[in-house]
Amino acid sequence: MSNNSDCNSAGQQWYVYMIKASDGRLYTGVTTDVERRFNEHFGSLKGARFFRGRQPVEVVFTENHPDRSSAQRRESEIKKLPRVLKLELIGANRY
């Protein structure tokens, strides 16, 4: 994980995050504000289609990135991982 002080020139930190859904599935996305984005997934029109028919339960993983581009590259890498490796990634970053 990157250091929180790693910000781009605009001072905006980007995050890759994973949310555990009510059916146990994992959702991966990018944002500049993880808490705001988590709350948007609760039935909001701004929430991901993934959460129609299921509810977000908790943020289980976050990773800091200095810019949107690197965050989106990492998001793509994570989305391609098999579930078992995603769970390992979550476990390695817990507490």
For the segment 14-60, what is each residue's pLDDT rounded down to a tens digit? 999 999 999 999 999 999 999 999 999 887 778 888 998 899 999 99
The CATH code of the domain that includes 59 is 3.40.1440.10
Domain range enclosing 21? 14-92
Question: Does a structural domain hold residue 4?
Answer: no
Q: Count the domains in the chain.
A: 1
Question: Does a structural domain hold residue 79?
Answer: yes
22's CB contacts (< 8 A; 6+ apart) are: 54, 55, 56, 57
Residue with the bigger pLDDT between 2 and 46: it is 46
Amino acid present at 14: W
Residues 76-87 have a mean pLDDT of: 96
Per-residue exposure over 55-85, b if at least 16 CB sit within 10 Å of its own CB, e if not: ebeebbbebbbbbeebbeebbeebeeeeeee
Question: Does a structural domain hold residue 6?
Answer: no
